[in-house]
Structure formats: structure tokens, C-alpha cells
Amino acid sequence: MAFKILFLNGPNLNLLGEREQSQYGVITFNELKKNCLRKSEELDVKLEFVQSNIEGEIVTWIQKAKETYDGIIINAAAFTHTSVAIRDALQIFKKPKIEVHISNIYNREEFRKKSLISDVVTGGIFGMGSHGYILAIIAMHKIIKNENK
């Protein structure tokens, strides 16, 4: 049975490849999505890969995920530092959750060093570039597999 993972991406990640390449690299959002879907197929994982610039949409996806998904991977982007609503929704989701960021948020501007979601997720991957997304999928697969033994 394939596991189902929701991969949530927050604001401005749809602009990957165009914005701050020194922080985020040259990979586009669509290329990143294709890489993640390819890796999930290799692992026999059903992956839904979505992006929104709207906080409320992300909260709604998290709330609905309880019924459908075995785990959530989230790059909340700027909402990482500002959204109590996303944090609260993640805290209610009682299955595995991984926070991922392309850049190392702890090696950036002072306001980016505080994640409101780090203390309610299973773990985090920071500063590994787009490879962090693949690492998150692999880690989530292993976590869910171990829980279902």
C-alpha cells in the first residue's frame, strides 16, 4: 500500500529560479516539483505537491489532510516566521510532519531565525538547497514505514 504525503509550499516559492538565486538556487518550482514526484514514484509514495501564497488555503489543506494523508512536509516560506494559524493547524495534525527550507533560516536575517512551526513538527531540514526536498521525502517515507510495522 502506497503512503500518501502532502507537500505544502508557501508564498513566493512559485518564483523559484527567478528570485534570490544566491539563497534559493536556479531550480524552478516546476523542476523541483518534477524531481519530488519522480522520487516519490521511486519510493511508491503518492505525493500531492501544492503551493499557495494564501495563508488560509495552507491552513485548510492541513486541516483536511487528517483524513487523507499519512504525513505532511511543509515549506511554509515567509509564513514560517509569522503564522500562528499554520502552527496551530500543524499541531492538530497528529501524524508525522517535516519542516523543510531551501536556505538555512538560522543563517539569515534575524527575523528569519525564529520558526513558529519547528516545535510542532517531527523534524526539519534546512539549508540543503533543493536537495532538502528529496531528503524530506525519503525521511517521511522511512518514518511512516516504521510507524506502520
Catalytic-role residue among 24, 69, 133, 141 = 24
Residue 133 known to be catalytic: no
146 Cβ neighbours under 8 A, 6+ residues apart: none
Catalytic-role residue among 69, 101, 133, 141 = 101
2 Cβ neighbours under 8 A, 6+ residues apart: 44, 45, 46
Between CA 121 and CA 91 the distance in angstroms is 8
Query: Which residues are catalytic, by number?
Result: 24, 101
